[in-house]
């Protein structure tokens, strides 16, 4: 009998608080939608983005990666690697095998993009104890994953 009275009281409370329940439901749905938006890149680059958008995005990423390289910041530089590149080696392997020292200057020059890949042209000047200011042109490969470009490291 006590259970029936409790259930009956709940029923009356629900009827009285029906509007509050509707507001709670709306709030819960809004929270779900906002969290769903957070898991997908908003404003990210897609394979269908205009070439100018792709070029701008990949050049910004390349400049940021080269800043990490010039600062000899292995964790930050490793963070720019594509998922496939990370699968090829851990951060320790990358830090030991990638050339992250000896650069005097770096200039990201241009990018040429296709659907999901870009080639970025970078001019670097190397410093070596035996040879000073060695200019080099490097062509980097970048791949589009989850709305952002990632550096393809070839160990």
Angle between helical axes of 2-16 and 18-39 (0-180°, round to 10): 70
pLDDT-wise least confident of 102-106, 116-120, 146-150: 102-106
Q: Is 61 exposed, middle or buried (0-12, 13-18, 19+ CB in 10 A)?
A: buried
Q: Is residue 106 pLDDT above 90, yes or no?
A: yes
- The number of beta carbons lying within 10 Å of the beta carbon of residue 65 is 25
For residue range 13-66, what is the model confidence (pLDDT) as tens digits? Answer: 544 555 443 433 333 333 333 333 333 344 699 999 999 999 999 999 999 999
- pTM equals 0.70
Q: Map out the domains of the chain as residue ranges.
A: 2-39, 51-151
Residues comprising the chain, all counted: 155
CATH code, residues 51-151: 3.10.450.100
pLDDT attached to residue 92: 94
């Amino acid at each position: 009998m006590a259970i029936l009275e409790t259930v009956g009281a709940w029923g009356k409370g629900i009827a009285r608080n029906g509007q509050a329940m509707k507001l709670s439901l709306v709030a819960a749905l809004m929270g779900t939608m906002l969290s769903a938006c957070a898991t997908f890149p908003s404003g990210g680059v897609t394979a269908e983005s205009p070439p100018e958008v792709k070029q701008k995005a990949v050049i910004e990423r390349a400049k940021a990666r080269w800043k990490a390289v010039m600062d000899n910041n292995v964790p930050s530089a490793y963070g720019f690697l594509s998922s496939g590149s990370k699968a090829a080696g851990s951060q320790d392997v990358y830090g030991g095998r990638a050339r992250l020292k000896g650069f005097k200057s770096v200039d990201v020059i241009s990018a040429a993009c296709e659907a999901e890949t870009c080639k970025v042209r970078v001019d670097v000047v190397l410093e070596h104890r035996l040879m000073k200011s060695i200019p080099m042109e490097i062509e980097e490969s970048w791949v589009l994953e989850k709305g952002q470009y990632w550096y393809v490291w070839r160990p």
